[in-house]
Amino acid sequence: MRLTARHSRLLTSAFLIGFVLMAGPAATAAPIAVRFVEGAAHGYLLLRDEHGDRLADGEMIQKTHGDLVNGQLIFRFKDGSLHDERVSFTQKHVFTLQSYKLLQRGPSFPTTIDLAMDRKTGEYRLQSSKNGSADDPLTGQIDLPEDVSNGMVMTLLRNLTPGHGETVHFIAFTPDPKVIELKLVPSMKTSIRIGDVAKQMTQYVLEPQLDSLTAFFGKLLGKLPTSFHYHFWLLTEDVPAFAGFEGPLYLNGPTWRIEQTSASTLWSSQAASTKDMPH
């Protein structure tokens, strides 16, 4: 295959798309069994750089319709950039991806991308542009195996057997869609304090297995990125809960951190608003 500038930028933008919610299939892997049924949820997140500076405010919105779960992860950046990731999956005994969409645009991303995959139609579409120059969209058919789980890493981690890892896979565009193994590895247990209460926390490392694509990456990029590891932290007592993420959101991108946030000014705002209320 001839490696054009277009292929280079498609790969750079599409290989590690959406690792906060991304994973996916293989001959030796199987769908992750449902241990905790997903329900309606709405949470707020912060995206920071390695120095702790706030880059974006985020929301996680999830709705259910029977066995179907529709989730959205959106980050609105201070510089006007947007990361909008949407996933639909079923949770009847196992988690099964139905559709996945991702939009990244703005100065925080070197390439604008608009990606969509759908199990029912078997179609995928990837549109990219850089510096105002748009490429022709890549379209085609893809047979998604039962255990593809792009957009669902956090859900999968919450449902792993405690202390055990798994191998799943994700779809990478090089520029054609390819299936790549992804190991979900519990690496370290620790504890944190929430107020006066100590809680157990587990760190997971996500390790993409490049294998046959290693030579392709080296030829295309001139060198392989120094690290393909991504880190998640979960509170693992009783019902697992998201604690944090660290890693890039696109190939060769900077390391960013995601954490939960809350309405920290709620009570001070309410106190101020009630001062002038009649008694």
pLDDT, tens only, 224-258:
455 556 899 999 888 999 999 999 898 778 999 99
Q: Report domain extents, the chain.
A: 5-264
Amino acid (one-letter) located at 68:
L
Reduce the DSSP state of residue 105 to 3 states and report it: strand
Q: Quick one: pLDDT at residue 24? A: 34
In tens, the pLDDT along 45-60 reads 999 999 999 999 999 9
CA distance 243 to 157: 12
- Render the burial of 137-164: b for 16+ CB within 10 Å, e for the rest: ebeeebebbebbbbbbbbbbbbbbeeee
112 in Cβ contact with 133 (< 8 Å): no
Mean pLDDT of the chain: 81
DSSP-H helix ranges across the chain? 5-14, 153-158, 213-221, 266-274
pTM (predicted TM-score): 0.83
Phi, psi of 104 (to 5 degrees): -130, 130
CA distance 216 to 173: 12
Reduce the DSSP state of residue 45 to 3 states and report it: strand
Length of the chain: 279
Other Cβ atoms within 10 Å of 113 Cβ, number: 22
Reduce the DSSP state of residue 14 to 3 states and report it: helix
